[in-house]
Chain A
Amino acid sequence: MTTSTSAYLAHFRVWRGDEDGGGLEDFKVEVNEGEVVLDIVHRLQATQAPDLAVRWNCKAGKCGSCSAEINGRPRLMCMTRMSVFGRDETITITPLRAFPVVRDLVTDVSFNYAKAREVPSFVPPQGLGPGDYRMQQEDVGRSQEFRKCIECFLCQDTCHVVRDHEENKGAFAGPRFLMRVAELDMHPLDAAAEAGIDRKRTAQDDHGLGYCNITKCCTEVCPEGIKITDNALIPLKERAVDRKYDPLVWLGNKILRRKP
Chain B
Amino acid sequence: MATGTQPRTDTGEPDGARGGVLSATRAAISARHLRTDRWWLAPAATAAGLLAFVVYSTWRAFANADYYAAPYVSPFYSPCLAENCETMKGGPNWEIFGSWWGLSPALLILIFPLGFRLTCYYYRKAYYRGFWASPPACAVAEPHGKYTGETRFPLILQNIHRYFFYAAIPVAGILTYDTVLAFRNSAYAWGHMGLGTLVFLANIVLIWAYTLSCHSCRHIVGGRLKHFSQHPVRYRLWGWVGWLNARHARLAWASLISVALADFYVYLLATGVFDDPRFF
Contacts and interface: CB of A to CB of B under 8 A. Distances in A.
Contact present between A and B (CB < 8 A): yes
Interface of A: 15, 17, 19, 21-24, 69, 71-74, 89, 92, 94-95, 97-102, 107-108, 110-111, 113-114, 117, 136, 138-139, 157-158, 160-161, 163-170, 186, 188, 208, 210-217, 220-221, 227, 230, 234-235, 237-242, 244-246, 260
Given A71-B36, A114-B6, A163-B141, 9 more contacts: A97-B26, A100-B26, A102-B2, A166-B13, A216-B125, A217-B138, A235-B215, A242-B224, A260-B224
Given A114-B5, A167-B19, A73 B28 contact: no
B9 to A, nearest CB: 10
B34 interface: yes
Contacts of A98: 21, 26
Most central of B224, B245, B246 by chain A CB within 10 Å: B224
Contacts of A168: 147
Contacts of B128: 213-215
B35 interface: yes
A17 B30 CA distance: 14
A108 to B, nearest CB: 6
Given A74-B139, A97-B26, A167 B5 contact: no
Interface of B is mostly: loop
Interface string B160-199: 1110000000000000000000000000000000000000
Interface in B18-44: 19-21, 23, 25-29, 33-37
Given A215-B128, A245-B159, A161 B149 contact: yes
Given A110-B7, A158-B139, A166-B14, A213 B149 contact: yes
A234 B34 contact: no
Interface of B: 2, 4-8, 11-15, 19-21, 23, 25-29, 33-37, 121, 124-125, 128-129, 134-135, 138-142, 144, 146-151, 155-156, 159-162, 215-216, 218-219, 223-224, 226-229, 235, 245-246
A69 B34 contact: yes
Contacts of A22: 27-28
Given A72-B33, A74-B138, A242-B224, A101 B26 contact: yes
Residue among A22, A102, A139 with most chain B CB within 10 A: A139
Which 3 pairs across A and B sit closest by C-beta, in order of nearness?
A72-B34, A72-B35, A210-B151
30 contacts: A23-B29, A24-B29, A71-B34, A71-B37, A72-B33, A73-B35, A74-B138, A97-B139, A100-B11, A102-B2, A110-B4, A114-B6, A160-B147, A164-B20, A165-B146, A165-B147, A167-B12, A169-B12, A188-B227, A212-B150, A213-B125, A215-B125, A216-B125, A221-B138, A227-B246, A230-B245, A239-B224, A242-B224, A245-B159, A246-B162
Given A69-B139, A215-B135, A220-B138, A138 B229 contact: yes
